[in-house]
Amino acid sequence: MDNGDPLYVGLMSGTSVDAIDCAMVRCRGNKVMIVATHEHAIPPHVKTQIAAISHSGKDEIERMGVLDRLLGRLFAEATMQLLHLSSKRPEEIKAIGSHGQTIRHRPPSAAANGKSSFSLQIGDPNTIAEMTSITTIADFRRRDIAAGGEGAPLAPAFHAAAFAKAGVTRAVVNIGGIANASILDGKELLMGFDTGPGNTLLDHWIARHHGQSYDHDGQWSAAGQTHDALLQKLLAHSYFSKTGARSTGKEAFNLPWLDSQLAGLEPIAATDVQTTLMELTCISITNAIRRCPLQVAEVYICGGGSHNAYLMQRLAQHLAPATLANTSVLGMDPDWVEAVTFAWLASRTLEGLSGNSPMVTGASGARILGGLYPGRYLKI
């Protein structure tokens, strides 16, 4: 790639709500090169508001409207900080691709009636475009849902573009709050799906018992014993028996659900619960990959879970004889794959190309994703 290729910014805030990941990339077709990155803090009071609005409650429309604008400003500030750190000007950026913050995800596979399915992300793109002067592409999920799809996961199309290799069957697994996997058969995307909880239950359980936002290197998880009866109850969740197009979120896997599973058992030490939650994440990922019609030889991890040493150790043991590594060995830092995905999706939108994978989401066909919010320097 050369310095004449367009610059895009990708913004991602996931289920874990740990920070806004910002990546500036050069895009040319399916080729991307990271130019600069920035992790932008989300203030604690904003995290609290996101957690509260993610469940039905009093005055939620009012609270959502206020939070939508607040997050829009925060995403814009993150972008401007990225530009400052990279010594770039707004007019040098062709577009921003903003995933937004998911506050509800009710896909067809989880809805009682497919026509009632929806996915909602906030972080007002009008505010981002106004504050940055950069054209912003956002709301990527809902067109796929309108076409009968799950609206997620969207990453597999990018995983295929960035990581597929002829003659090799690979899985690329993003472990954020929820984990998703892309199965690559040589240069082709074979399938993709959410596997279930990634870090979300682990993070919430350690926050409840130790006030920590995450289990550093899985040290607390490694200190306990797997509780087999609890593990079997957790694995009995209906999501794990689903096949085909499927996606999930914190609506299905959350502390109230975990508490309900614990209620019917004798008291279990908190450490052992954490160890069991680690096994739930690793086994659900492994089982989903092994149900694929082809044997996967290589598995590559991205997202926050790639930094959890115990998680990576347990995954390697479960997935053997497949090899396990993170995406850095494929040339992309695992911390930035999701943000880069949305920069790439923005480039697809402006080029008039589809961004979804119908075989993954179950949509009735390929669709150009996202709404366009023009900036001062609109370039098409």
How far apart CA 302 and CA 336 sit, in angstroms, is: 8
| CB-based burial label for 176 (10 Å; 0-12, 13-18, 19+) | buried
How far apart CA 182 and CA 185 sit, in angstroms, is: 10
Q: Could you tell me if 162 and 123 lie in one domain?
A: no
Residue predicted with more confidence, 276 or 54? 276
The enclosing domain of 126 has a CATH number of 3.30.420.40
Q: Could you tell me if 133 and 221 lie in one domain?
A: no
Q: Could you tell me if 182 and 292 lie in one domain?
A: yes
Q: Return the SS3 of 273.
A: helix
CB crowding 276-313: b at 16 or more within 10 Å, else e: bbbbbbbbbbbebbeebeeebebbbbbbbbbbbebbbe
Chain centroid, CA 195 distance in Å = 12
- Does any domain span residue 2? no
Provide the domain count of the chain.
2
List the structure tokens of 157.
Answer: 């199309």
Show the domain range for 317: 155-330
Q: Could you tell me if 135 and 195 lie in one domain?
A: no
How far apart CA 369 and CA 88 sit, in angstroms, is: 27
- Does any domain span residue 56? yes
pLDDT of residue 113: 62
How far apart CA 182 and CA 372 sit, in angstroms, is: 27
How far apart CA 126 and CA 224 sit, in angstroms, is: 48
Residue 30 has pLDDT above 90, yes or no: no
How far apart CA 277 and CA 222 sit, in angstroms, is: 11
How far apart CA 268 and CA 345 sit, in angstroms, is: 45
List, in sequence order, every beta strand (DSSP E) within the chain.
Answer: 7-13, 19-28, 31-41, 93-106, 118-122, 136-138, 169-175, 178-185, 188-197, 298-302, 323-326, 371-373
How far apart CA 370 and CA 348 sit, in angstroms, is: 10
Kindly report the pTM of this predicted structure.
0.94
pLDDT of residue 15: 80
- Does any domain span residue 380? no
Q: Could you tell me if 340 and 304 lie in one domain?
A: no
Judged by average pLDDT, the poorest of 26-35, 134-143, 350-359 is 26-35
Model pLDDT for residues 94-118, shown as the tens digit of each residue = 999 999 999 999 999 886 665 789 9
Q: At what angle do helices 228-235 and 255-263 cross, to 10 degrees?
A: 130
Instruction: Write down the residue that tokens 């993070």 correspond to.
Output: 203
Q: Could you tell me if 163 and 75 lie in one domain?
A: no
How far apart CA 228 and CA 111 sit, in angstroms, is: 30
- What value does the mean pLDDT take over residues 278-286? 98
Residue 379 binned pLDDT confidence (cut-offs 50, 70, 90)? low
Model pLDDT for residues 302-360, shown as the tens digit of each residue = 999 999 999 999 999 999 999 999 999 999 999 999 999 999 999 999 999 999 999 99
pLDDT of residue 376: 86
pLDDT of residue 193: 97
- Does any domain span residue 298? yes
Q: Could you tell me if 164 and 301 lie in one domain?
A: yes
Model pLDDT for residues 204-225, shown as the tens digit of each residue = 999 999 999 999 999 999 999 9
Q: What are phi and psi of 39, to 5 degrees?
A: -105, 115
- Does any domain span residue 379? no
Residue 3 binned pLDDT confidence (cut-offs 50, 70, 90)? confident
Residue predicted with more confidence, 165 or 30? 165
CA atoms within 13 A on the CB side of 89: 4
pLDDT of residue 14: 83
pLDDT of residue 19: 93
Residue 45 binned pLDDT confidence (cut-offs 50, 70, 90)? very high
Q: Could you tell me if 136 and 38 lie in one domain?
A: yes
Model pLDDT for residues 229-247, shown as the tens digit of each residue = 999 999 999 999 999 999 9
- Does any domain span residue 100? yes
For the ranges 10-24, 67-81, 106-120, the maximum mean pLDDT occurs at: 67-81
pLDDT of residue 114: 59
Residue 380 has pLDDT above 90, yes or no: no
- Does any domain span residue 378? no
Q: Could you tell me if 276 and 200 lie in one domain?
A: yes
Q: Could you tell me if 278 and 318 lie in one domain?
A: yes
Q: Could you tell me if 12 and 137 lie in one domain?
A: yes
Q: Could you tell me if 44 and 84 lie in one domain?
A: yes
In which element (H, E) is residue 201 found?
A: helix 200-210
How far apart CA 46 and CA 285 sit, in angstroms, is: 31
Give the Å distances, CA to CA, from 19 to 36, 69, 84, 147, 172: 16, 17, 18, 31, 22
- Does any domain span residue 238? yes
Closest to 216 measured CA to CA, from 232, 239, 199: 199
Mean pLDDT score across all residues of the chain: 95
Percent of the chain topping pLDDT 90 = 92
